[in-house]
Amino acid sequence: MYIVTGGAGFIGSSMLWRLNEAGIDDILVVDNLASTEKWKNLVNRRYRDYMHRDEFLRRLKSGNPGFGAIQAVFHLGACSSTTERDADFLMENNFHYSRTVCRFALEQGARFINASSAATYGDGSHGFSDNLLTTLGLRPLNMYGYSKQLFDLWAYRENLLGALASVKFFNVYGPNEYHKGDMRSMVCKSVEQIRSEGRVNLFASDLPQYPDGGQMRDFVYVKDVVEVLYWLLEHPKVNGIRNLGSGRARTWNDMMKAVFAAMEKPVRIDYIPMPQSLRGKYQYFTEAKMDWLAECGCPVRFHTLEEGVADYVRGYLMAKERYL
């Protein structure tokens, strides 16, 4: 059996799609559906059972969870809000929970793949290399990034980095993110705004070296993300802290031009002031160092920004069936 925590979420349900594509459906989905719309991400998917995250944690702590043989655990469940201010909640949900799941998976001899984040890189002053020396010196700008950094540091102290893959996701966009509210990608949110207003808003820049809309991020399509995660599943000797982005920074203006092009609309962008709550916490540049893919022989070909946006916009956001 395979376990996917956060299996009804954005990347988690996309991972279910990739596993199903490989003919795998003996899967336990762990999540917290509550009153959200996440359940819609599961409608097209095949899996054995669903379990609430609290019941899953209780079983793990009982010492006798009763799951049988586990092939792999994709630990993709976490609070992913970069603006979440309840630090105690993030400590328990993102850090302590992750340690418990990790110990369980490794004790079972299962492949363990953990979701880390590019938010750990903070303002980027230490660069974006996933080597250990860089990791030890990082200073995240928000509590979410810090909660992810704490797990990576714990795995290092416990000498576990050779036994697991902790993957730092950069700016992921794509189908099945619709339940995320303000945390949806700008591709998703901009299609709605363009449909209703014919234009889109981007944050103006507070730094002179970046023009308005010229802030740069490493945007990566979710289909590429889960393709790499599946490759890691099949290559259990590739471990440690690993970046997962496209490897190329692009501007927000580039992204919006790709959206307008996919919608066959003229480009109309307005620049609005950076919210006070984000000042000093906003990443102006991210770019994953992805040398490890070639070094490890991973053959995944990433979509360009224009290719990924076109597939997402035309194949899902403007289509009758929006879900993977």
Tokens of 75: 């630990």
Q: Is 121 a catalytic residue?
A: no
> Are residues 73 and 115 in contact, defined by beta-carbon separation less than 8 angstroms?
no
Q: Is 237 a catalytic residue?
A: no
Distance CA 190, CA 194 (A): 6
Distance CA 69, CA 264 (A): 50
Pairing of strands 27-31, 49-52: parallel
Sign of the C-alpha dihedral, residues 49, 50, 54, 55?
A: negative
Q: Which of 47, 121, 144, 316 is catalytic?
A: 144
Helix (H, G, I), strand (E, B) or coil at 34: coil
Residue with tokens 């490493």: 218
Helix (H, G, I), strand (E, B) or coil at 120: helix
114 HSE (CA, 13 A, CB side): 32
> Are residues 231 and 111 in contact, defined by beta-carbon separation less than 8 angstroms?
no
Q: Which of 38, 148, 180, 189 is catalytic?
A: 180
> Are residues 144 and 90 in contact, defined by beta-carbon separation less than 8 angstroms?
yes
Distance CA 151, CA 117 (A): 11
Q: Identify the bridge partners of residue 322 per DSSP, sorted by sequence position.
A: none
Distance CA 193, CA 181 (A): 14
Active site residue ranges: 144, 180
